[in-house]
Amino acid sequence: MQKEELILILDFCGQYNQLIARRVRECNVYCEIVRHDISAEEVKNKGAKGVIFTGGPASVYGEDAPKCDPKIFELGIPVLGICYGMQLMTHTLGGKVEKADKREYGETQVSFEKSILFDGFGDSNVCLMSHTDYVDTLPQGFEKIAHTESCPFAGIQNTEKNFYGIQFHPEVNNTSDGIKIIDNFVKKICKCSGSWKMSSFAKETVKALKEKIGDGKALCALSGGVDSSVAAALLNEAIGENLTCIFVDHGLLRKNEGDEVEEVFGKRFKSKFVRVDAEKRFLDKLAGVKDPEKKRKIIGEEFIKVFEEEAKKIGTVDYLVQGTIYPDVVESGKGIGATIKSHHNVGGLPDYVDFKEIVEPLRDLFKDEVRKVGRELGIPDYLVDRQPFPGPGLAIRVTEDITKEKLDILRDADYIFREEMEKDGVNKYSNQYFAVLTNVKSVGVMGDYRTYDYMIALRAVTTVDFMTATFTRVPYETLERVSSRIVNEVPHVNRVVYDVTSKPPATIEFE
């Protein structure tokens, strides 16, 4: 990490704050997210080459609205305000922000004027707007650089002081080529060279883990998925034999997966590997439970209990390492966000765990960034590109109460779907695909017999960061073959449907 390449992101509680950080890192510039009330002196001491103000849900004229240290504008470094950040800049520097007569939400055509911030763009661009307030009067020294039909100041600048503001969100995929705006700011305005790489993250994280854990011992919650595998690899580099990887086989895994995980991780890592057979224990706890949120809570608590028990067998273990990534944290509602669903390794944790600390080295990264770290650490592609799988496993893909029979039905259907997707090459452009055993039963006819059996739902999504996703356009021929195989090869299934809902409004999982 090079200090002269640092961009600071001031967090005003917006939902896309980590996406901004991700875009900055994609420009090969290191960044840190800090509290909005960081002092100007701290910003100066960190040696930041630029500052980005994030969006946020508040109104700048509200009594409890988050503010920044106004002396930041006296440091002589560039500032980019996004949405609320632009309004705050306007409000702080003497402009006026008002409640809009017409709110703007969704993709909007924005007209651009000449500005270094918009280098590489034409006269207009499709951008994501999401605001109720708007800038009514500009501060002294500012000029308009963008507008929409409803928003007179969709972009503003003060080139003398290198202050820029945009009402839309360049960090999201809905803004066409929005990363160019971030790139223009950090490289052409802040003069960053763009020499930082993900390998720097890996090296810095390994170094930090060594310093943090020292000679202490750690357990890693290894599921065999991408996130926990990369977390285990980081810890393996940092503390070697002091790491024990615990693989809890809870009976909620995909077909053959438990054996595959043991085959790969039991031989590859120098650290210790323990497989715990806990199928009966988990199924007993989940018996009769239908609510997916309750399932997640139960699984999270039971995971921790298993790890505590295994830790006592090993001896003194100070740290529990998990492969939590940022979408898990956002959806679990930690901090200011609303709870969408509790991930077993975040919102599902009990209030007290018998470890000195839980270590989550990947919690600020998105899935694609985790894959990059994995490659930097030398993890083979077949592991790094492994199909994502939720920690609660098939428990949330059986839509009501769970039984071993239902799990076996789902395992077979899911295996067929994944096999056919890979055979037809659809897996190359679908980032996650799986089957779900619904609670719907319907009448069917097989041969001369009436059946009354389960309906399987298939879901496949295409996404970059798993924060938003569109349903994958799976060829009809593939779906037809999958459907035919499932109803013919899997007992107690007589109907197959395909989910064509994107995220939002749905989540990736079907629950």
- pLDDT for 347: 37
CB 55 within 8 A of CB 10: no
C-alpha–C-alpha distance, residues 162 and 155, integer Å = 13
- pLDDT for 66: 93
Residue whose structure tokens are 């994280």: 205
C-alpha–C-alpha distance, residues 127 and 215, integer Å = 50
Catalytic residues: 83, 169, 171
Q: How many CB atoms lie within 10 A of CB 130?
A: 21
Going by C-alpha positions, the residue among 449, 441, 459 that lies closest to residue 495 is: 441
Tell me if residue 110 falls in helix, strand or coil: strand
End-to-end CA distance of the chain: 41
The two structure tokens encoding residue 256: 């053959």
Across the beta sheet with 163-166, the strand order is 31-35, 7-11, 50-53, 79-82, 163-166, 155-158, 143-147, 96-112, 124-137
Q: Residue 191: which region, alpha, beta or left (left: phi > 0; alpha: psi -120 to 50)?
A: left
Going by C-alpha positions, the residue among 300, 332, 389, 319 that lies closest to residue 358 is: 319
C-alpha–C-alpha distance, residues 115 and 138, integer Å = 17
- pLDDT for 451: 80
- pLDDT for 354: 66
128 pairs with which residues across the strands? Answer: 107, 169
CB 141 within 8 A of CB 166: no
- Has this prediction a pTM greater than 0.75? no
C-alpha–C-alpha distance, residues 138 and 163, integer Å = 12
Helix (H) or strand (E) holding 79: strand 79-82
- pLDDT for 339: 33
C-alpha–C-alpha distance, residues 417 and 490, integer Å = 12
> Using N-to-C axis directions, what is the helix angle for 226-239 and 198-213, rounded to 10°?
60
Going by C-alpha positions, the residue among 110, 106, 160 that lies closest to residue 129 is: 106
The domains found in the chain, sorted by start residue, are 3-189 (3.40.50.880), 198-384 (3.40.50.620), 404-498 (3.30.300.10)
C-alpha–C-alpha distance, residues 508 and 133, integer Å = 31
Q: How many CA atoms lie within 13 A of 137 on its CB side?
A: 8
C-alpha–C-alpha distance, residues 132 and 130, integer Å = 7
> pLDDT 10s digit of each residue in the chain, 511 long?
444 589 999 999 887 888 898 899 999 998 888 889 999 999 999 999 999 999 998 999 888 899 999 999 999 999 999 999 999 999 999 999 988 776 777 889 999 999 999 999 999 999 988 878 889 999 999 999 999 988 999 999 999 999 999 999 999 988 999 999 999 999 999 999 999 888 888 988 999 999 999 999 998 888 777 898 899 989 989 998 899 988 889 999 999 888 877 877 777 777 888 999 999 999 999 999 999 889 989 998 898 888 778 878 888 788 988 888 876 765 444 433 333 333 344 334 444 456 788 899 998 787 888 988 999 888 877 778 777 788 788 999 999 899 999 999 999 999 999 999 999 999 989 999 999 999 998 888 776 677 889 999 999 999 877 778 899 999 999 999 999 999 999 999 999 999 999 998 998 888 7
> Using N-to-C axis directions, what is the helix angle for 367-376 and 226-239, rounded to 10°?
40
- pLDDT for 187: 97
- pLDDT for 154: 93
